[in-house]
Structure formats: structure tokens, C-alpha cells
Amino acid sequence: MKTKVVTKNETFKKFKKQYTMHIFVWLGLLFLLIFSVVPMLGIVVAFKEYDIRSGFLGMFTGEFAGFKYFIQFFTDRKFETLLRNTLMISVLKLIFSFPLPIMFAIMLSEMKGNGFKRIVQTVSYLPHFISWVIVTGILFSFFSTTRGVFNEILVNWGIVDEPIPILMEAEYYYGLAVSSEVWKEMGWNAIIYLAAIAGIDPTLYESAHIDGAGRLQRIWYITLPSIKGAISILLILAIGGLLSSANFEQALLLGNSMNISRSEIIEVYVYKKGLGLGRYSFAAAAGLIQSIISFILVLSANTISKKLSNTSLF
């Protein structure tokens, strides 16, 4: 009993000493409460007959609609296309844009001499800082069928007879989305691997060298196993973010009426129906389904990785 009182007093004393810090933290939490927690609670609109005129509290007081909007989304004639595009683009991006930065980082770390290496590194980060709007503009001027460099060269060199309508035909969209993503983010995503490689003990390489291991063998038996941890964690993160990696901004900017059958993803649909047409409950329901799928994906990736390599996020 006595000790308890003492601890309580001590806690209070400690708190008194650090109360300014707590105020700092509370301000942050207040921010999260308003801009993060309230929207989370706002998910109820997906289950309500929500009318924008009923204002903010209408989200909570509105008539209960049950799973009506979820069923509407599942039976929407576009549902299959949306799900297919979202999954296909995400998976293709995972397949191509996940291993490439690893490869790039290893190659970069194998380079001798500092000057050229630093130039390549600096240049490779640059596109990460350029907006998708600019990237889209560049893509349009590059691949345009009437005056783009790409098609001009192909036609002039006789590789194709007709310019390839990369931006306008649905069948090219997946390739366009994946390759522009790789172009933009490869160098940036390599940073973490470069850090991991820099942390490898050089004596490992030396002793392997003395034992007669060639360059490739050293990469295979030392570099790769040493960065396995980093690879697993990033893979879990990538799978967790799989659906959002379909990239809303990219899809909205590169999508057009000609390639819509391949470019429209769930998030774009949510935006069009929700903010565009004011079907808030329906759009919220569609958005929630996307979040649920993502959540299941990250949980399963985490479990698998825990079993395989003992690495996990939580």
C-alpha cells in the first residue's frame, strides 16, 4: 500500500517535470484525432444513407443502410474490371519494380571509382522528386504518335510501319504504368539497399576472395544474404502497400477515355463516384473494400515472412 502511494507520487513528480513535452505530444495527437481518427470513424458513411445536406453529424445519425452499398459495388458492372486492373497493375509493379532497385544497388556498390558512381547515384534519385504531372507531360511528348521522339525513331529506322499508340491504346497501358514507375522510383528505392550493403563487414569479402570466390560468387554468397533482412522487410511493406501501389495519381493522369478499360483502378473510381458525382456512401464502401484487401495482404505477408526468415514488422 505504502509503496503504491510513493510510486503514484513519483509518477506525478515525473509528469510535472516533463509536462511541456506532454503538451507537445498532445498537440500532435490532437491533430491526429481530427485528421486521422475522425475520418476513420467516418467510415460509417459506407453503412448509412448519407446525404451531404445533413452535414457532418449526418454521417453518424443517418439512416442505417447495412451492406447495401457494398453489394452495389460488388455487383457493379465495372467491379471486375476495376479489381482486375488494380491487382494486375500492383502485381506487375511488384514483379518488376521490386527486384530492379536491388540489382541497381548491387551494381552501384560494385562500381569502382567515386566520380562516375556519384553522378549515376545523384541522377538516379532525381525523377523521384519530379511530380507525376511533369512525368506525364514528358511521356506525352515522348510517345506521342504525331511528333514523339520514340515513334519517329522507330518509323525512321524502319522498325515499325505505323507509330505505336502507346498512350492511347488500352493494351499498352500496363506496360506504360509499370515502366514509368520503374523510371521514376528505381534509384530512390535503391537507397535503403545501398545503406544495407555499406554496412557489410569488408573482411567478409576479403576472406572470400582469398578462398578463391569470384566476383559473382561474392555477390551471391555475401552481398545478397547480408541484405536479406532489408529485402524481407521491404517486401512485406511492398505487399502491404500493394493495392495503393497501383498509384492513384498515375492512373488519373495517364488514364484517358481510350485506355480506360485498363487504366481505371478502384481509387480512381472512388474519386469519380464520390467527389465527382456525390455518391459518398457508395464510394466510401468501395474505398473500405480496398483497405480491407490491403490489410489482409499485409497480415499474410507478415506471417509468411515470419515463418520463412524470422523477419516481421509486428
Partner 1 sequence: MLFFKKKAKNIIKPTLEDRIIDTTIFIFMIIVLVITLYPFYYTIVLSFNEGIDATKGGIYFWPRTFTLDNYKQFLSDASWINAIFVSVAKTVIGTCLCVFFTCMVAYGLSFPGLLFKKYYGIMLLVCMYFSGGLIPYYLTLRALGLLNTFLVYVIPTMFSIYYCLLAVAFFREIPFDLYESATLDGAKDITIYTRIIIPLSKPLMATISLFAAVGQWNAWTDTAFYAPARKELRTLAYLMRDVIMRNQIDTSASNASQMAAAKYSQVTSQSVQMAAMIIAVLPIILVYPFLQKYFVKGVMLGAVKG
- Interacting positions 182-201 with partner 1 (CB under 8 A): 183, 187, 191-192, 195
Does 305 engage in binding with partner 1 (CB under 8 A)? no
Does 172 engage in binding with partner 1 (CB under 8 A)? no
CA-based torsion, 270, 273, 278, 280: positive or negative: negative
- For residue 194, the minimal CB distance to partner 1 (Å) is 8
CB half-sphere exposure, 234, CA atoms < 13 A: 17
Q: Which of residues 115-154 bind partner 1 (CB under 8 A)?
A: 116, 119-120, 122-127, 129-134, 136-138, 140-142, 144-147, 149, 152
Does 249 engage in binding with partner 1 (CB under 8 A)? yes
State which residue, 75 or 146, has the beta carbon closest to partner 1.
Answer: 146
Choices 77-85, 89-97, 207-215, 301-309 (CB under 8 A): range interacting with partner 1: 207-215
State which residue, 3 or 114, has the beta carbon closest to partner 1.
Answer: 114
Does 43 engage in binding with partner 1 (CB under 8 A)? yes
State which residue, 74 or 152, has the beta carbon closest to partner 1.
Answer: 152
State which residue, 120 or 235, has the beta carbon closest to partner 1.
Answer: 120
Closest CA to 50 of 271, 272, 292, 285: 285
State which residue, 22 or 228, has the beta carbon closest to partner 1.
Answer: 22
Does 211 engage in binding with partner 1 (CB under 8 A)? no
Q: Is 282 exposed, middle or buried (0-12, 13-18, 19+ CB in 10 A)?
A: buried
Does 256 engage in binding with partner 1 (CB under 8 A)? yes
Does 228 engage in binding with partner 1 (CB under 8 A)? no
- For residue 37, the minimal CB distance to partner 1 (Å) is 7
Choices 79-87, 220-228, 286-294, 303-311 (CB under 8 A): range interacting with partner 1: 286-294
Q: Which of 20, 75, 77, 161 binds partner 1 (CB under 8 A)?
A: 20
Does 277 engage in binding with partner 1 (CB under 8 A)? no
